[in-house]
């Protein structure tokens, strides 16, 4: 079974600007995959390359094994796209917009009408079915984009920042719906700025920056790459900063409060407490603060650490976070970028 | 070709203009009532017969062509450009329709609008003067070919345009002058200088108007001025139709190519 998405050294150039730089990425069938990155990272360009709205400058891109240019009909038939922008037909009531879209995908008129009703109910705007797009509220417009993507019952659902600017209720509704779809077997590619969204929904995430893939990992793996902080309140202020082992990357003292930065707070805390007690300190309180995914994300996409050239990208890899099981493969992929 | 997807897009394109008769069918109807009233009745009464036909009858084919091709062009160019402008053409582009299906659906629907407008104008003309049809099959073939040709050109216009003003420029400043100098309101046989005829023959509209006039009235200026050598002179309308058909297929091939490379459609 071919992957849902497979790109190899995908390149998109706009004159001197390289929007995608030798991007190699694989999304397995049935996966809930997140694309994270700051504005201009190339997320939407990547998506639009898959659906035919952007023509690649180089490399390969396949959807369920179908080349997006040579087998464009099969590739596009498999995809439902809810884009960032409101690109909806203004001439027709929204139910007709959906039946037209279903029709373009070869679904006969009577079945298309049924599906349109179903998806409008599913996203909660069935009572607006005879309205035109321009008369909908912002949240309803966002729901319609999702309905339009679903009406063709795609094997691959692509959501380009679906919750940007929507209220909390709608965001949770969308999360619930896409989770259901994924459980039903739909592969989902989600781009988002919201780290919480990726952490909550995605099996794996790719972090992109300036057209390159910075890393691919599960949210949990990513969080492991950061350092944790163990804050210990001592019964009395120490006279000097305790000399701990190499596990302590940084130790600071402020009055009776001691802060130690370590790789894994949970597993290191007992050792730290033993060491401190062995030095004669009495422990009054302890708190472990884990690195947030957001901090990891900011660290990985910090632009001053990265440039757009191939040579500097390779050297930038030397400054990346400490190695884990996935680092070797990723470093190799970055070398290609 | 007649896949479900093709029919869905064709139907969408037809519905877009059918549901807006005030924008699509009423303007040419009203405009042509004015043309027939002013040029046909008021001025035409003071003009001698042209090529043996009352002036009002002579101008009917030209006005049919003017309305039909203008509307075919306008429909295709607007539909494509408006879809680009508001980006909802993405609904089509991201679908599994082939590029040929997309182009034929857009061209076909726009040609239908041109044909309907042509019939409306002929009906308006019929209210002013009795009109017969001399070569029905030839007329239908010609009308289909020329509306498809201008629908195909409209697609190119819609892809090339950068704003709505560009569409107006194409229709008002290029299309209409060519039609007006395309022997709509006069016969080539009225020219006394050879260069006047030769210059007119460079205008493709001359062949379209002449073909429709041949279909409706049975008269062809091209036969009259002897565009083909002696024994072949009477084949001039057929040759015209053949050339126009070739041109239409060529333009549609260009449309398909532009869709394939994403000209004006993709980044």
Give the separation between CA A177 and CA A120, rounded to whole angstroms: 13
Q: Which residues of B touch A90 (CB under 8 A)?
A: 86, 88
Q: Give tens-digit pLDDT for A267-303.
A: 889 999 999 999 989 999 999 887 777 777 777 777 5
- Flag if B95 and A76 touch (Cβ within 8 Å): yes
- SS3 of residue B195 by DSSP: helix
Is residue B147 scored above 50 in pLDDT? yes
Chain B: closest CA distance from residue A93 (Å): 12
- In angstroms, the CA B104 to CA B202 distance is 28
A53 to chain B, any CB pair closer than 8 A? The answer is yes
Pick from A76, A170, A79: nearest CA to A125: A170
Q: Write the pLDDT tens digit of every residue in A27-63.
A: 999 999 999 988 888 999 999 999 999 999 999 999 9
How many domains, chain B? 1
By the CB < 8 Å criterion, does B23 face chain A?
Answer: no
Name which of B87, B95, B266 is nearest A55 (Cβ-Cβ): B266
Residue A268 CA: distances (Å) to CA of A259, A325, B264: 13, 20, 59
**pLDDT for res A303:** 52
Q: Looking at the domain assignment, is residue B111 inside a domain?
A: yes
Among the partner-chain residues A14, A72, A101, the one whose CB lies closest to the CB of B91 is A101
- Mean pLDDT of all residues in B126-141: 93
CATH of A227-289 given 3.40.50.620, 2.40.160.40, 3.30.70.260, 3.30.70.1560 = 3.30.70.1560
The domain ranges of chain A are: 5-78+154-222, 227-289
Q: What is the mean pLDDT of residues B184-188?
A: 82
- Neighboring chain B residues of A89 at a CB cutoff of 8 Å: 12, 83, 88, 91
Contact A51 B4 (CB under 8 A): no
In a domain, B267, yes or no: no
Chain A residue closest to B86 (CA)?
A87
Taking contacts as CB-CB distances below 8 angstroms, the residues of chain B near A70 are: none
Q: Which of A55-64, A208-217, B234-243 has the highest mean pLDDT?
A: A55-64
In a domain, B25, yes or no: yes
| Predicted complex ipTM exceeds 0.95 | no
Same fold, A5-78+154-222 and A227-289: no
* Over residues A120-125, mean pLDDT: 93
Mean pLDDT, range B102-109, rounded to an integer: 98
Q: Which residues of B touch A144 (CB under 8 A)?
A: none
Q: Does B190 touch chain A (CB under 8 A)?
A: no
Q: Which chain B residue lies closest to A149 (C-alpha atoms)?
A: B91
B191 — pLDDT class (breaks 50, 70, 90): confident
- Asked if A98 has any chain B CB less than 8 Å from its own CB, the reply is no
Locate the DSSP E strands across chain A.
Answer: 5-14, 17-27, 32-36, 58-63, 66-67, 79-82, 156-160, 187-192, 204-209, 212-217, 228-234, 250-254, 257-262, 283-289
CB proximity under 8 Å: B 76-105 to A: 83, 86-88, 90-98
Q: Which pLDDT band, with edges at 50, 70 and 90, does B184 fall under?
A: confident
Identify the domain containing residue B232 by its residue range: 4-261
CATH class of the domain whose range is A5-78+154-222 = alpha beta
Contact of B193 with chain A, judged by CB distance below 8 Å, is answered with no
Above 90 in pLDDT, residue B176?
no
């Amino acid at each position: 079974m071919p992957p849902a998405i497979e790109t190899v050294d995908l390149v998109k150039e706009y004159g001197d600007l390289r929007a995608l730089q030798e991007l190699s990425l694989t999304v397995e069938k049935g996966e809930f995959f997140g694309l994270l990155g700051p504005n201009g990272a190339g997320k939407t360009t990547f998506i639009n390359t898959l659906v035919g709205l952007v023509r690649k400058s180089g490399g390969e891109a396949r959807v369920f094994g179908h080349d997006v240019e040579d087998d464009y009909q099969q590739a596009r038939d498999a995809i439902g796209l809810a884009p960032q922008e409101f690109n909806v037909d203004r001439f027709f009531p929204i139910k007709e917009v959906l039946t037209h879209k279903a029709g373009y995908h070869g679904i006969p008129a009577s079945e298309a009408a049924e599906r349109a009703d179903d998806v409008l109910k599913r996203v909660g705007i069935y009572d607006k079915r005879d309205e035109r797009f321009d008369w909908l509220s912002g949240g309803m417009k966002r729901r319609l984009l999702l309905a339009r993507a679903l009406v063709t019952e795609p094997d691959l659902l692509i959501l380009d920042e679906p919750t940007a600017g929507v209220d909390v209720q709608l965001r949770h509704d969308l999360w619930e719906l896409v989770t259901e779809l994924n459980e039903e077997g739909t592969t989902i590619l989600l781009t988002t700025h919201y780290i919480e969204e990726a952490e909550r929904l995605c099996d794996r995430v790719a972090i992109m920056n300036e057209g390159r893939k910075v890393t691919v990992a599960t949210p949990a793996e990513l969080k492991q790459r950061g350092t944790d902080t163990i804050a210990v309140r001592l019964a009395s202020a120490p006279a000097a900063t305790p000399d701990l082992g190499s596990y302590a990357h940084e130790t600071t003292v402020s009055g009776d409060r001691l802060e130690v930065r370590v790789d894994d707070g949970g597993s290191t805390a007992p050792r730290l407490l033993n060491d401190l007690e062995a030095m004669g300190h009495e422990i009054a309180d302890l708190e472990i603060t884990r690195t947030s995914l957001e901090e990891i994300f900011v660290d990985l996409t910090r632009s001053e650490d990265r440039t757009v050239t191939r040579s500097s990208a390779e050297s930038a890899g030397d400054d990346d976070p400490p190695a884990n099981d996935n680092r070797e493969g990723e470093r190799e992929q970055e070398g290609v970028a | 070709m007649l896949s479900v997807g093709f029919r869905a897009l064709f139907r969408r394109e037809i519905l877009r203009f059918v549901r807006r008769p005030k924008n699509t069918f009423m303007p040419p109807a009203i405009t042509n009532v004015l043309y027939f009233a002013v040029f046909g009745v008021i001025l035409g009464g003071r003009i001698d017969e042209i090529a043996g036909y009352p002036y009002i009858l002579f101008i009917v084919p030209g006005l049919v062509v003017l309305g039909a091709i203008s509307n075919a062009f306008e429909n295709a160019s607007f539909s494509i450009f408006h879809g680009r402008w508001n980006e909802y053409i993405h609904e089509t582009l991201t679908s599994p329709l082939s590029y040929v299906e997309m182009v034929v659906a857009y061209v076909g629907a726009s040609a239908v609008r041109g044909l309907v407008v042509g019939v409306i104008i002929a009906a308006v003309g019929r209210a002013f003067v009795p009109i017969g049809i001399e070569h029905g099959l030839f007329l239908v073939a010609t009308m289909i070919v020329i509306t498809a040709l201008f629908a195909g050109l409209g697609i190119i216009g819609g892809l090339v345009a950068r704003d709505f003003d560009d569409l107006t420029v194409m229709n008002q400043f290029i299309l209409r002058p060519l039609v007006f100098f395309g022997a709509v309101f006069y016969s080539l046989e009225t020219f006394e200088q050879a260069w006047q005829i030769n210059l007119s023959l460079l205008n493709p509209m001359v062949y379209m108007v002449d073909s429709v006039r041949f279909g409706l009235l049975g008269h062809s200026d091209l036969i009259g001025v002897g565009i083909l050598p002696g024994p072949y002179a009477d084949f001039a309308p057929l040759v015209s139709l053949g050339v126009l058909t070739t041109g239409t297929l060529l333009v549609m091939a260009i449309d398909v190519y532009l869709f394939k490379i994403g000209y004006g459609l993709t980044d």
